[in-house]
Amino acid sequence: MDALLTGFELALTPENLLYAVVGVLLGTAVGVLPGIGPAMTVALLLPVTYNVSPSAALIMFAGIYYGGMYGGSTTSILLNTPGESSSVVTALEGNKMAKTGRAAQALATAAIGSFVAGTIGTVLLVALAPTVAEWVVVLGAPSYFALMVLALVAVTSVLGSSKLRGFISLALGLTIGLVGTATGQARLTFDNPLLADGIDIVVVAVAIFAVGEALWVAAHLRRRPLEIIPVGRPWMDRADWGRSWKPWLRGTAFGFPFGALPAGGAEMPTFLSYITERRLAGKHKAEFGHGAIEGVAGPEAANNASAAGTLVPLLAIGLPTTATAAVILAAMQGYGLQPGPQLFEAEPELVWTLLASLFVANTLLLVINLPMAPLWARLLRIPRPYLYAGILFFAVLGAYSVNFQWFDVALLGLFGALGFAMRRFGLPVLPLIVGVILGPRLEEQLGQALQLSRGDVAALWSEPVAVIVYVVIAVLLLGPLVLRLVPGRQGPERLEDDIDALEEEVRS
């Protein structure tokens, strides 16, 4: 508790508070634009933090992260355009509320639900992350290797309807991670000295998310103007509060555990929250499909609680389980910080300042952005060509600022084309990003394990934790195959099918 209070003292200094405000405003302003989710928001704004201290940069990222999440819900409700798959269910009911003149109520329950879930999730993060960090500090290289394999397999096999596409994306990411001379031997450098240190993850992330998305939208650009639904000051009457507070709590209970699991993500808990609220709706059940406020409150709470949950494995073990967490990990590594148990021991002041800043950012998000909802809605009127031209400009500027070399801009174009091709052929982006980040670390832990055992491969399963993790990996890979053989199957595959159906309904 003393460490957290010290973190609040540092987070609430005028300078750091200013960075938190700037982060919330930037995150919301970029996140509210159509088709831009939190991961792309963080990737685009990554270069903004280069000239500030590590603590100020992480505080700003806390604001950008939560601001981007809030902005995504605004786009879903007003435009029926989810920034990412976790906002699909919000669009399903929220846009129906907006079309019936209740956009203000939909935005209000989304914002307040995000605040409630984010606060509870951050409390759980503060309670669990140090405990997990103390536990994993006793693990050896074999267990770390197994955990990283689990993260790679989970983000690849659990997400998306095609496991083959997921593994193709992972293979691309691991291949990019091999570039350089980290092992003392040049790999995939093509005799180019500028590739000797590898490819910067910032360039890859900005290219895949921002440039790839801009090219994809340009290829499918509709010339007709967007239909923006007017919104006044968000407010809720007593009946809206009465119908929202229980979904907020239930959504939080769904979201945080899924976010803390490897590749749990936010898609499953938001969908489960929606189904739960639909079944518990009682006399309001007929409103579902036509704009039920519970269908916005629960999924938005699950979405934001999941966001807090993803920070548990990121800070305690150094494993990113979502695209946004992967970009934040890249930012921390850019400052020479390696999330994991060593971070809690080596930089306790920095860690607790970051955790305290999550509370600050969450509060600022509600206090600043709720009254500014009409202003954010006006941003949606920016014509798409101007919007994505601006995104490309900032993407190029960000890539160039990494090393101040035009070679990085050329790489940006190359990987931007790759991002476009991945969208064209339905390859998920997350496995590639996680592969780029975890690939070198996976190789490092493998080398340590084999070096200590003098080349004995059996050392990879010599620790109990490693054995348990490999069993979980086997279940992840073989479980769906077994479920397919069971008549009337249920489980993740069925849920994925239903989520895909909801996405198709939103697009239509």
Q: Which residue has the higher pLDDT, 383 or 64?
A: 64
Q: Which residue has the higher pLDDT, 423 or 262?
A: 423
**What does the alpha-carbon distance between residue 362 and residue 115 come to, in Å, rounded to a whole number?**
6
- End-to-end Cα separation, the chain, in angstroms: 50
Burial (Cβ within 10 Å: 0-12, 13-18, ≥19) of residue 467: middle
DSSP state of 225: P
SS (HEC) of 257-283 = HHHHCCCCCCHHHHHHHHHHHHHCCHH
Res. 86: pLDDT tops 80: no
- The gap from C-alpha 195 to its chain's centroid, in whole angstroms, comes to 28
Among the listed ranges 45-49, 128-132, 159-163, 388-392, which one has the minimum average pLDDT value? Answer: 159-163
Res. 499: pLDDT tops 70: no
pLDDT of 249 reads: 92
pLDDT of 252 reads: 92
pLDDT of 480 reads: 66
Among 92-101, 150-159, 191-200, 239-248, the range with the most confident prediction by mean pLDDT is 239-248
Mean pLDDT of the chain: 78
Burial (Cβ within 10 Å: 0-12, 13-18, ≥19) of residue 164: exposed
Among the listed ranges 282-286, 312-316, 377-381, 467-471, which one has the minimum average pLDDT value? Answer: 377-381
Q: Which amino acid is at 238?
A: R
Res. 390: pLDDT tops 60: yes
Burial (Cβ within 10 Å: 0-12, 13-18, ≥19) of residue 50: middle
Q: Which residue has the higher pLDDT, 476 or 262?
A: 476
Res. 64: pLDDT tops 60: yes
pLDDT of 494 reads: 52
User: By percentage, how much of the chain surpasses pLDDT 90?
Assistant: 2
Q: Is the dihedral of CA 279, 282, 288, 293 positive or negative?
A: negative
Give the model confidence (pLDDT) of 188-235 as tens digits.
Answer: 888 888 888 888 777 887 788 778 877 887 777 665 555 666 666 667
Give the model confidence (pLDDT) of 9-43 as tens digits.
Answer: 888 888 888 888 888 888 888 777 766 667 777 77
- Residue with tokens 């290289």, as numbered in its chain: 141
pLDDT of 63 reads: 84
Res. 490: pLDDT tops 60: no
Q: How confident is the model at residue 504 (pLDDT cuts 50, 70, 90)?
A: low
Q: Which residue has the higher pLDDT, 267 or 418?
A: 418
- Per DSSP, the three-state class of 489 is coil
Is the whole model's pTM more than 0.85, yes or no?
Answer: no
pLDDT of 228 reads: 61
**What does the alpha-carbon distance between residue 63 and residue 44 come to, in Å, rounded to a whole number?**
14
